[in-house]
Amino acid sequence: MKALEEKILKEGTVLPGNVLKVGSFLNQQMDSDFIMEIGKEIARLYEGTGVTRILTIESSGIALAVAAGIAMHVPTVFAKKHRSANMPKAVYTAPVYSFTHHETYEIAVAREYLPAGEKVLVVDDFLANGNAVRGLMQIINEAGAELVGCAIAIEKGFQGAGDQLRKEGVRIDSLAIIDAMTDESVTFRAQ
Ligand code: 5GP
């Protein structure tokens, strides 16, 4: 998605530890119109696949996932990273090591929001080492639902997880794939 690459070049900054900061349009401040454009692009990519539900992980995946859910007219569910009192007892869980927080969370999805047989599209803002996606895949599997694919805004291709998942037969659609990034430059994979 050309517009996303342009936005990354214009507004993104590279932080130590291979972290790309996109707080001005995707993470902390969200460019609402642009997020809806991403949602529509995801809907276009998955047209005709019969997706019945979108699954993401809190918190930064939620905006994109809801935009895709609106464009596809399906519910959006997010995995929680922290247990809260109002969380139902019947949950699916999976451990996920956080790339940005350097700790392992137990993510949880209420069973009632992920019925068996659902055709699930995973949506997230970034794909780095693949831990978030793999945790969500584990939950989908446990629920007896079907993973249709993963739609990612920004894949850091140089970290390898996206290509590994593709090799394993998982459908991964990333709207921008970064093959290299330094303080001065970001290089995208042609796709
Ligand atoms: P993974 O689990 O694939 O290693 O990392 C994906 C998760 O970590 C995403 O949900 C995202 O929130 C966060 N993340 C990974 N890399 C980056 C990055 O470069 N910038 C930002 N802002 N978040 C990232």
Buried b (16+ CB within 10 A) or exposed e, 124-147: bbbbbebbbbbbbbbbbeebebeb
How remote is the CA of residue 128 from the centroid of ligand 1, in Å?
6
Q: Give the model's pLDDT for residue 147.
A: 98
Q: Does the CB atom of residue 132 touch ligand 1 within 6 A?
A: yes
How remote is the CA of residue 125 from the centroid of ligand 1, in Å?
7
Q: Give the model's pLDDT for residue 85.
A: 75
> Nearest CA to 186 among 61, 15, 63?
15
> 3-state SS of the chain: helix, strand, coil percent to 5?
30, 35, 35
Residues in the chain with pLDDT values less than 70: none
Pocket test for ligand 1, best of 81, 125, 182 (most atoms within 8 A of CB): 125
Q: Give the model's pLDDT for residue 5.
A: 98
CA pair distance 135, 155, nearest whole angstrom: 17
Residue 28: inside a domain: yes
How remote is the CA of residue 44 from the centroid of ligand 1, in Å?
24
Residue 144: inside a domain: yes
Nearest C-alpha to atom 17 of ligand 1 is from which residue? 19
CA pair distance 172, 30, nearest whole angstrom: 24
The amino acid sitting at 71 is: A
Nearest C-alpha to atom 9 of ligand 1 is from which residue? 126
Q: Give the model's pLDDT for residue 178.
A: 98
Q: What is the pLDDT of residues 41-96, one digit of tens each?
A: 999 999 999 999 999 999 999 999 999 999 999 999 999 998 777 777 799 999 99
Residue 43: inside a domain: yes
Q: Does the CB atom of residue 161 touch ligand 1 within 6 A?
A: yes
The CATH code of the domain that includes 49 is 3.40.50.2020
> 34: domain range?
2-79+115-186
Look at strands 76-79 and 172-181 and give their pairing.
unpaired
Residue 52: inside a domain: yes
- Domain total in the chain: 1
Residue 90: inside a domain: no
How remote is the CA of residue 62 from the centroid of ligand 1, in Å?
13
How remote is the CA of residue 121 from the centroid of ligand 1, in Å?
18
Residue pointed to by tokens 């596809």: 72
Residue 15: inside a domain: yes
Q: Give the model's pLDDT for residue 82.
A: 82
Residue 107: inside a domain: no
